[in-house]
Amino acid sequence: MDIGIPRETKPQEGRVALLPDHVNALVREGHTVRVEKNAGVLSGADDQSYSAAGALILESAAQIFDTSELIVKVKEPLEHEFGLYKARHILFTNVHSAADKPLTDHLLKVGLTAIAAEDTHQHGSPNCPLAGEVGAFEGVRLCLSPHGGSGRHFMPHFGAPALKAVVLGLGAVGNGALRTLMRLGCSVSGLDINPGARMKADLDWAGQDFTSADVNALPELLADTDLFVNCVLWPKHRDDHLIDRAMLKRMKSTAVIVDISCDEGGAVETTRATTWSDPVYSEDGIRHFCVDNIPGAVPETASAGYGAALLPFVKLIGEVGAVEACRREPWLARGLTCVEGELILEETGMVQQRPYTPVAEFLSD
């Protein structure tokens, strides 16, 4: 199959979908892989290393889309790419169609096949731990006094307390945040509705300055918290919040909210997604850091994990085509978003209240 890897164009995004070793595995199976010039350079993979792996290097994204059937990417489709899409394309990337109606409209209009990579990770997305680790690290930096933070040191010294952090949601991202904060020496409360998640964190960080609590403890913790890290996967249909605008008034003026989930109007009412180019804004006097592509800041590591997760699916799609690959691999089928103008992804159908064909029914034809 003709496989294309365009360069990511989101601001400050240095990841690439497949690294040279992944490309070489595809070339050895007889596929033709085309890579856009400089696509991997920020991930430590220059054009020469892709050429040595057997890829063809093309000058522009337009050339990649013109010559490829399967397009493998990292970030969601951006509006300036829309004109490059053709009905014959299989687009395998993080799509996030439920949150973006104009994007869904466009994919359906073009009639291409889209597979949402974010839904295909059987063992969790490799990006999630990185987002937690790096997001919490950035939160600690924003707690330094010159950045407007409380200036509490991240480890206790001379009888002064360490920075106090609250991590909301102890899943893959929350556990990543805990790894950074606990290893630095912060004083951390971990909140989750799931008692199992709290127990795991209690065991992981036994003997250190960690306490777990039910999410009901949040209002009490607000007043003396330097850093809030939100890692709750917020259901798209919910219109309530864990931290609403009124609660910001209970926080210290030096506190910072790092919303890694960054669902606009989600668990944190005042969240709006930001980029690495302009990552922090202030709302009612409280700084918010809501970058929606945090792992893009550690591209070499993130690309290694992402490429390894996608490679088996890319091989299968290359061998038998997208629809048959989804029939054979239930985890790939979970991401099947649309085919020839037909919406398949249930979540998008439900959130946008538009007709969809359930994936099992679609694949049984």
Ligand X SMILES: NC(=O)c1ccc[n+]([C@@H]2O[C@H](COP(=O)([O-])OP(=O)(O)OC[C@H]3O[C@@H](n4cnc5c(N)ncnc54)[C@H](O)[C@@H]3O)[C@@H](O)[C@H]2O)c1
Single-letter amino acid, residue 35: V
> Is residue 178 a contact point for ligand X (CB under 6 A)?
no
Query: Which of residues 53, 232, 243, 298 is near ligand X by CB under 6 A?
Result: 232
Which span sits near ligand X by CB under 6 A: 35-43, 166-174, 243-251, 357-365?
166-174
> Is residue 298 a contact point for ligand X (CB under 6 A)?
no
Relative to beta strand 32-36, strand 56-58 is: parallel
Count the site residues for ligand X by CB under 6 A.
27
> Is residue 166 a contact point for ligand X (CB under 6 A)?
no
Which of 96, 106, 153, 241 is an active site residue?
96
d(CA 15, CA 304): 9
Q: What is the largest CA-CA distance in the chain?
A: 69
Q: How far is the CB of 261 from ligand X (least distance, A)?
A: 4
- Name the residue nearer to ligand X (CB basis): 3 or 294: 294
Paired residues of 278 in beta bridges: 275
Q: Answer yes or no: 96 catalytic.
A: yes
Q: How far is the CB of 266 from ligand X (least distance, A)?
A: 8
> Is residue 167 a contact point for ligand X (CB under 6 A)?
no
DSSP state at residue 144: S
The closest residue (CB) to ligand X is: 171
Which span sits near ligand X by CB under 6 A: 17-25, 63-71, 143-151, 285-293?
285-293
- Name the residue nearer to ligand X (CB basis): 14 or 20: 14
> Is residue 294 a contact point for ligand X (CB under 6 A)?
yes
Per-position x/- string for 31-70, each x denoting binding to ligand X as judged by CB under 6 A, each - no binding? ----------------------------------------
Per-position x/- string for 235-264, each x denoting binding to ligand X as judged by CB under 6 A, each - no binding? -------------------------xxx--
Q: How many helices (H) and strands (E) does the chain have?
A: 13, 15
What is the torsion angle, in degrees rounded to the nearest 10, for the CA atoms of residue 242, residue 212, residue 292 and residue 294?
160
d(CA 104, CA 352): 9
Query: Which of residues 171, 184, 252, 320 is near ligand X by CB under 6 A?
Result: 171
- Half-sphere exposure at residue 153, Cβ-oriented, CA atoms within 13 angstroms: 8
Total residue count of the chain as it appears in this document = 365
DSSP of 208-246: SSEEEE-GGGHHHHGGG-SEEEE-----TT----SB-GG
Which of 119, 226, 259, 263 is an active site residue?
263
Query: Which of residues 6, 14, 169, 190 is near ligand X by CB under 6 A?
Result: 169
Distances 214 to 10, 169, 185, 194, 360 between C-alpha atoms, Å: 37, 10, 22, 8, 37
Q: How far is the CB of 273 from ligand X (least distance, A)?
A: 8
Residue 186 near residue 180 (C-beta atoms within 8 A): no
Residues 187-216 that bind ligand X (CB under 6 A): 191-194, 197, 215
Which span sits near ligand X by CB under 6 A: 12-20, 147-155, 291-299, 355-363?
291-299
DSSP of 171-213: SHHHHHHHHHHHHHT-EEEEE-S-HHHHHHHHHHTTTSSEEEE
Which sign, positive or negative, has the C-alpha torsion 168, 165, 261, 180?
A: negative
Query: Which of residues 93, 293, 303, 337 is near ligand X by CB under 6 A?
Result: 293
The residues of the shown chain that bind ligand X, judged by CB under 6 A, are 127-128, 131, 168-174, 191-194, 197, 215, 231-233, 260-262, 291-295
Task: Tell me the catalytic residues.
Answer: 96, 263
